[in-house]
């Protein structure tokens, strides 16, 4: 990608390899621990019928979720041809209308500034070294008064520790960010923070590697989900919760 001073920590060609191995997920699983917690946040902050852009949309599960759950007019942009093909197929199978743009978000001329009510990215900003510059691109595409939603992994807690042990190479393709660091970027860009949350309570993940341990992680996560939901123990901790979600609003006139 040609992004000026922005350095991508995971090469673009590697994303094609990632999405070649991916399976169609159709939509966000709200019966998973992450999905349940994420959905509760969205129900709190997101109105129905909005025009929404996902940056880094490969796979398309979030686009399906936002369309089916909130009746959003969904658009997605991603630089991976394989990932975009997967997203289009996912939308088709889910009978969901949406627009997928295969392009570099930092060079894309197909997206007009201040044209979306909601801009969302999940697992995107941490793959670049210039965090504030990347978030600034999100803000530029957002209408005044629009909602910015950014989700990223918490690599400083248990999640990051497990990831580093089992998938060391992938771990170092992430910029290690805390909620406070992302909040500072929002503030510097004039975005008013509505909520900043560590979510998920407890999830074991390692990016699919090594393969032999994934069935154990899957089973453990199922147990954690039913236990935590059954006991209503949705604690938030930077030491244990695997994900961070920051929600902000672009002021009118900005």
Look up the CATH number of the domain holding residue 104: 3.40.50.150
Is 7 a member of any domain? no
In a domain, 44, yes or no: yes
Two structure tokens written together for 152: 């990223």
Residue 6 lies inside a defined structural domain of this protein:
no
Residue 217 lies in a domain: yes
The residue with tokens 């930092």 is 106
Q: Give the model confidence (pLDDT) of 148-166 as tens digits.
A: 999 999 998 888 888 888 8
Over the stretch 177-210, which tens digit does the pLDDT of each residue have? Answer: 999 999 999 999 999 999 999 988 778 887 778 8
In a domain, residue 216? The reply is yes
What residue numbers bound the domain in which 58 lies? 12-249
Question: Which structure tokens are listed for 41?
Answer: 């946040």
Q: What is the mean pLDDT of residues 72-98?
A: 95
| Count of domains for the chain | 1
pTM above 0.85, yes or no: yes
2 is a domain residue: no
Question: Considering the chain, what percentage of its residues have pLDDT values greater than 70?
Answer: 96
Q: By the 8 A CB rule, do 77 and 57 touch? A: yes
Select the more confidently predicted residue: 235 or 237: 237
Examine residue 202 and state whether it is found in any structural domain, yes or no.
yes
Per-residue b/e over 51-80, b at no fewer than 16 CB within 10 Å? ebbbbbbbbbbbbbbbbbbbebbbbbbbbb
């Amino acid at each position: 990608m040609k992004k000026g001073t922005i350095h991508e920590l995971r090469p673009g060609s590697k994303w094609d390899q990632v999405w070649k191995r991916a399976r169609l997920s159709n939509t966000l699983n709200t019966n998973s621990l992450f999905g349940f917690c994420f959905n509760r946040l969205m129900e709190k902050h997101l109105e129905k019928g909005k025009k929404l852009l996902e940056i880094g949309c490969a796979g398309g599960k979030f686009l399906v979720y936002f369309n089916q759950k909130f009746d959003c007019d969904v658009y997605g942009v991603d630089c991976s041809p394989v990932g975009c093909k997967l997203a289009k197929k996912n939308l088709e199978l889910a009978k969901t209308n949406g627009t997928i743009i295969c392009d570099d978000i930092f060079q894309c001329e197909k997206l007009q500034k201040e044209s979306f009510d909601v801009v969302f990215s999940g697992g995107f900003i941490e793959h670049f070294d210039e965090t504030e510059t990347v978030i600034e691109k999100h803000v530029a595409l957002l209408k005044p008064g629009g909602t910015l939603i950014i989700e990223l992994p918490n690599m400083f807690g248990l999640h990051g520790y497990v990831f580093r042990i089992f998938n060391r190479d992938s771990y170092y393709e992430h910029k290690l960010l805390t909620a406070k660091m992302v909040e500072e970027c929002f503030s510097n860009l004039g975005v008013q923070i509505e909520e900043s949350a560590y979510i998920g309570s407890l999830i074991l993940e390692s990016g699919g590697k090594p393969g032999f341990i994934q069935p154990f992680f899957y089973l453990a996560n199922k147990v954690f989900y039913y236990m935590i939901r059954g006991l209503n123990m949705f604690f938030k901790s930077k030491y244990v919760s695997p994900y961070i979600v920051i929600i902000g609003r672009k002021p009118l006139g900005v």
